[in-house]
Amino acid sequence: MSEFDLFRISEDHEALREAVREIADEQIAPHAAAVDEEGRFPDEALKALVATDFHAPHVPEDYDGAGADALATCIVIEEVARACASSSLIPAVNKLGTMPLILAASEEVKARYLPPVARGEAMFSYGLSEAGAGSDTAGMTCKAIEQPDGSFVLNGQKSWITNAGVSEFYTVMAVTDPDGPRGRNVTAFVVEKDDEGFTFGAPEKKLGIKGSPTRELHFEDCRIPGDRMVGGLGEGLKIALRTLDHTRVTIGAQAVGIAQGALDFALGYVKERKQFGQAVADFQGIQFMLADMGMKLEAARQLVYVAASKSERGDADLPFFGAAAKCYASDVAMEVTTDAVQLLGGYGYTKDFPVERMMRDAKITQIYEGTNQVQRVVMARQLLKG
């Protein structure tokens, strides 16, 4: 391998991109506006992704999965997000929900819960945040108290849970030792949708990603068998944070996809739209905007791909690169989509064109899986640690 090959995406990855893009263009994009307008789950996208094994490509082959590496998974998410951000949360949240199992669960737990996800029979969500514990994850109050028979009784709630209600399984973090040291008293469990005492709040009314339901999880004396624990007792928060190191990269990929979709549409528009007797694209001021959009988008993509490679290898500096990829790409997505709306002028502000949806969808990428302010704290800490 020459030194130059290190900076080239493999032919397999490019072939994957082409395959996903074709499916996204033909079977997902045509429904994106309706999914947003009606606030409904993108069933067409789920069907298309399951049929092609793109709904949870990260699941290892040992558990009936496609065994896609972290970069391949990011490419899938990016290409789906280019067409419909809500739909891209199918593969992204399946990875988020199952990553704690992949990192830390017993073989029995993995064998029970990963194959149904790989086969497309179930989706997996992730329950960490609470109404009073968003960025301060260690401040959670949801409790799981061990019983004499080895089971745990779960009481409390979780907030802002992506794909809640449609997912069959949930990785939930709860305090198992209320008097224990803060942050080291949390344990992870798998909760099943039909567990007694487990219910959902009303769907949130959101600015964007309206096709992906966001709801609260409510637990009232919900009994969880002890064999559904993920990792060891008291290891839940450590597992949760390790999970986010990996999955923040997928949010960066989602942000890149949203931004690419907006840039693609804006480019087509300014080449066709005429003002003062010439195409809008011929004006230098417009060209400077396009150049900045393309430059920043490509920088974001490269940062995401480097972070994905570090995720695959488990590099020690993944916490910095995962935070950087998510933070930078989401900031770029917000900027690029806002500029895309500007390039379309008044039309950009209407629902007749997709860029206003993309602008609304981009905003959440700066907030979930850790706000960009928190990402900067993570990066600074890593730098200061050397």
Contact 318, 311 (CB under 8 A): yes
Q: CA dihedral defined by 32, 301, 315, 74, rounded to 10 degrees?
A: 20
- Superfamily of domain covering 124-234: Butyryl-CoA Dehydrogenase, subunit A, domain 2 (2.40.110.10)
Banded pLDDT at 18 (limits 50, 70, 90): very high
Tell me, what DSSP letter sits at residue 347? G
Q: Is 96 helix (H, G, I), strand (E, B) or coil?
A: helix
157: number of CA atoms within 13 Å, CB side? 14
Q: Is 130 helix (H, G, I), strand (E, B) or coil?
A: strand
Q: What is the pLDDT of residues 139-180, one digit of tens each?
A: 999 999 999 999 999 999 999 999 999 999 999 999 999 999
Q: What's the length of the chain?
A: 386
Q: Is the pLDDT of residue 233 over 90?
A: yes
Tell me, what DSSP letter sits at residue 185? S
CATH class of the region 238-385: mainly alpha
What does the domain layout of the chain look like in residue ranges?
Answer: 3-118, 124-234, 238-385
Q: What is the pLDDT of residues 348-373, one digit of tens each?
A: 999 999 999 999 999 999 999 999 99
CA 56 to chain centre: 12
Amino acid 5: pLDDT: 55
CATH number of 3-118: 1.10.540.10
Amino acid 6: pLDDT: 57
Query: What is the distance between the alpha carbons of residues 93 and 87, in angstroms, rounded to a whole number?
Result: 10
Neighbours of 294 (CB within 10 A): 15
Catalytic residues: 369
